[in-house]
Structure 1
Amino acid sequence: GFKQMKTANLICTFFVFLFCLGTWLLYLPCTWSIGLAAEPGCFPDWYMLSLFGAGAVLMRGAGCTINDMWDQDYDKKVTRTASRPIAAGDISTFQSFVFLGGQLTLALAVLLCLNYYSIALGAASLLLVITYPLMKRITYWPQLALGLTLNWGALLGWSAVKGSCDPSVCLPLYFSGIMWTLIYDTIYAHQDKRDDALIGLKSTALLFREDTKQWLSGFTVAMLGALSLVGVNIGQTVPYYTALAAVGAHLAHQIYTLDIHRPEDCWDKFTSNRTIGLIIFLGIVLGNLWKEKETDKTKKNIDNRIEN
Structure 2
Amino acid sequence: MKSYLDFEKPVAELQAKIVELRALGENGDAVAIGEEVSRLEAKSVQALKELYANLTPWQKTLVARHPNRPHFSDFVAGLVEDFTPLAGDRAFSEDEAIVGGLARFRGRPVLIMGHEKGADTTSRLKHNFGMARPEGYRKAVRLMELADRFGLPIIALVDTAGAFPGIEAEQRGQAEAIARSTEACLNLTVPNVALVIGEGGSGGAIAIATANVVLMLEHAIYSVISPEGAASILWRDAAKAQDAATNMKITSADLMRLGVIDGVVPEPLGGAHREPDAVIAEAGDAIAQGLERFDGMTPDQIRAERRAKFLAIGRSL
Do the structures match in fold with TM over 0.5? Answer: no
Q: TM-score, normalized by length of structure 2?
A: 0.28
Bigger relative contact order, structure 1 or 2 (CA pairs below 8 A, ≥6 apart): 1
Q: TM-score, normalized by length of structure 1?
A: 0.28
Q: Which has the higher helix share?
A: 1
